Amino acid sequence: MPAILTSAPGKIILFGEHAVVYGRPAIAVPVTQVQAQALAVATPRAPLGEVRIQAPDIGLDARLDELAPRHPLRLAVSGVCETLHIQRLPAFQLRVTSSIPLSSGMGSGAAVAVAVIRATSEFLGTKLTDEVVSDLAFEVEKVHHGTPSGIDNTVIATGRPVYFQKAPEAEGGLGSRIEPITVAAPFVLVIGISSERSQTLQVVGAVRQAWQANERHYEALFDQVAALSQAARGCIEAGRPEEMGALMDENQQYLKAIGVSSQGLEALILAAKKSGALGAKLSGAGRGGNMIALVKPEQAPAVAAALAEAGARQTIVTEIRGKN
Ligand code: PMV
């Protein structure tokens, strides 16, 4: 069996985080400068069925069956086996690496799941469609996030900008509206990773509690955010991405009102704006993690430098095109 190497990009949410959990549309784009990789290699001397998982970034080197039944890596492999109706696996080794910053809202968990699902299925002789890969990664996302909207696995499995609206709760997240966005004119984002980690599960839980306590207020905020996602899609498809700057600033005000910004993120957003960004907002769950700034291409180095100066532990400049 030949060795199989697969990869999956990181992602950022351009508009609509949190509101997307409550059925509003959001926009996410892949970030190809960072990625997760999985390498599947046969280990003919090992006993039949022995699958060894190595993830040096997190110090993991174990047999698959030694991992807890709901360990994300074990779920990713077992999801493939169920889909392909495979009961007895050949002996092989999976080596997982990732350059996607952890707990930063860049989708590292979903990207690792997508890479592992692809490596395992291709090693076993079947190339799954992006849709099936995404559905399997969604199951893994539930371990990381509790009640994920499904936007991370969707944008990472398809590898292209997406307008996403979750299916109603009753449908268990399946049948969500997933529309690829045509990027009529490329645009440049500077991503600033803050030094605070973002804990998606906790932040999403805190927003749910606040929503339960004041449903009407939060529903109104989510409606406002939905209108911004719709308007932003129009800007991207019309080739006027610079008009998204003001929409990003507005989205940030709503994210603050939802209660998911932080001092560190606000400092980065202010630094980006002061150094000439067209718009800036946090991205992902918030209360740490990353923020993004829309810039004219020639401004990118100055904005990245300003973010580093204001405390970003990493900056990434990325150009968003139709299919990266
Ligand atoms: O980018 P992350 O992984 O921090 O995701 C958060 C996005 C949310 O909208 C807050 C949650 C979700 O599942 O969509």
Q: How confident is the model over 171-197, as pLDDT tens digits?
A: 655 678 999 999 999 999 999 999 999
DSSP E strand stretches across 147-239 = 162-165, 177-180, 187-193
Query: What does the DSSP 8-state code read for residue 170?
Result: G
Active site residue 152: yes
Say how many Å lie between the CA of residue 126 and the centre of ligand 1: 30
Q: Rounded to the nearest 10 degrees, how much is the dihedral formed by the CA atoms of 261, 262, 267, 272?
A: -30
Atom of ligand 1 nearest to the CA of 106: 1
Which of 10-24, 59-73, 170-184, 244-258 has the least mean pLDDT? 170-184
Give me the mean pLDDT over the 315-320 stretch: 98
Report the pLDDT value the prediction gives residue 170, as an integer from 0 to 100: 58
Atom of ligand 1 nearest to the CA of 289: 4
Report the pLDDT value the prediction gives residue 145, as an integer from 0 to 100: 80
Pocket of ligand 1 (CB under 6 A): 13, 17-18, 20-21, 105, 107, 145, 148-149, 151-152, 198, 200, 204, 284-285, 289
Report the pLDDT value the prediction gives residue 324, as an integer from 0 to 100: 45
Bridge-partner residues for 7, per DSSP? 37
Give me the mean pLDDT over the 234-253 stretch: 97
Report the pLDDT value the prediction gives residue 173, as an integer from 0 to 100: 57
**Rounded (5°) CA angle 257-305-32:** 75
Say how many Å lie between the CA of residue 75 and the centre of ligand 1: 20
> What burial class does residue 87 get, using C-beta atoms within 10 Å of its C-beta: 0-12 exposed, 13-18 middle, 19+ buried?
exposed
- Any idea which residue has 């499995």 for tokens? 157
**pTM (whole model) above 0.85:** yes
Q: Which range among 100-104, 165-169, 200-204, 256-260 has the greatest average pLDDT?
A: 256-260
Q: From CA 171, how far away is CA 158, in angstroms rounded?
A: 22
Say how many Å lie between the CA of residue 18 and the centre of ligand 1: 6
Report the pLDDT value the prediction gives residue 1, as an integer from 0 to 100: 76
